[in-house]
Structure 1
């Protein structure tokens, strides 16, 4: 146990504002576990929660001298809650865009210009899928194109269901990031 572990939150906060690395480390170790659990209850995604916690502590360090923290635990819990709400809102927005895009594709009422863009976008999506790592691509295509369940894919490829789920989630995360940028550019160009 280090001397920093015995300090109060207020003492650690004061040292943090002075740029003390060890105080930051003590705060991190004191709160990362409970903040992780707090965020995981809402998000149910280890990757999202790990990213959120990392971002929170990075911001805490980078803005340490600007922060007005009266109660450290309250500040951290509020910051996690706000980031969780932002994450949920972002995912909902992404989902709405994907649903709207899928609905657009399904209606088939697009004019020739839109059909050309749709074909170009479909080609870009296929390129992005093709650029995924081989095993991830194979799992993703079995899930999304062959409509197999995680269990069926796991049995077919002799993988665990958890591995299949990770491959699908990682593929979706990669594709969302790449396609969000592409969709934004297309919408800007068509305006």
Structure 2
């Protein structure tokens, strides 16, 4: 086993800005088949799926020095395939066909992998955002969401007014919304 093969996904992603073609090759070896299957399920066409995945890897190779992967490598690749498929449908004006194929795709229950990746990423982003809250805001948020206390009970426990509790919760939710918008949409 070579050096590149022993690297984690995060380490491989870290090699991309250094124009490491061996890293791109290893990423291709690891993800080509699963990305092809993912694209096939959405497109229903082997040739289009192969073209889509090839385009994603060509883009990865071409733009690797400018890439900023803020998620897991796996999530980035799946999202790239998904975005490429969406762009194809937009260009070809087959949005309805896509909607129907996605409904069928999800009704068969084969969406579990995609949902698990998104769920893990959402959980990670929420935890990071909450951890970055100021201490009082984090305390109030945790009492509301983890302890399920009412705003009045939170005010009593933290010895602040209900208005302060409302303000802190509204600010916390606004921060979370802004942090999560990019992954959800």
Normalising by structure 1, report the TM-score.
Answer: 0.46
Scaled by the length of structure 2, what TM-score is found? 0.48
Which structure is larger by alpha-carbon Rg, 1 or 2?
Answer: 1
